[in-house]
Amino acid sequence: MEKTMNKLLADLVVEYHKLQNYHWYVKGENFYTAHEKLEAFYDEIRDFVDEVAEIMLMENLKPVSTMKEFLALTDIVEGDGKDVTQEEAYAAVCRAYAYLLKEVKEVKAKADEENGYLISTKMDD
């Protein structure tokens, strides 16, 4: 379970930074709306990062904690620090959220198989 949870944690951390990158570099006529929405997205992901790490610690699992470890585990591609339109940013967010939802469902299924009720319940949240 530790490997599975660390993969989810890494994907969340990298997605958090990618959203922050989009927040900083979004351009276009609806800049302020997009800027605020992207901030709300990364704030939400930040909270999930903390919850996943804390639940791991409650289960006596060791969460990875360095960028090197996160980047080695993730399948999320980092932001590139270039200007992005709100359409490009929102499309990338939708793809990433669909990927993360699939991953959460897989973590839940594995937790259910292993009677990991605390993790399973957190994945429902």
* 113/49 Cα distance (integer angstroms): 23
Residue 95's pLDDT band (cuts 50, 70, 90): very high
Residue 125's pLDDT band (cuts 50, 70, 90): confident
Q: Identify the pLDDT of residue 24.
A: 95
Percent of the residues in the chain that have a pLDDT greater than 70, as a whole number: 100
* 33/100 Cα distance (integer angstroms): 24
Instruction: Report the pLDDT averaged over residues 5-30.
Output: 96
Mean pLDDT of the chain: 96
Q: Identify the pLDDT of residue 37.
A: 96
* 112/12 Cα distance (integer angstroms): 21
Percent of the residues in the chain that have a pLDDT greater than 90, as a whole number: 96
Residue 11 parent element (H or E): helix 2-25
Tens of pLDDT, residue by residue over 72-92, are 999 999 999 999 999 999 999
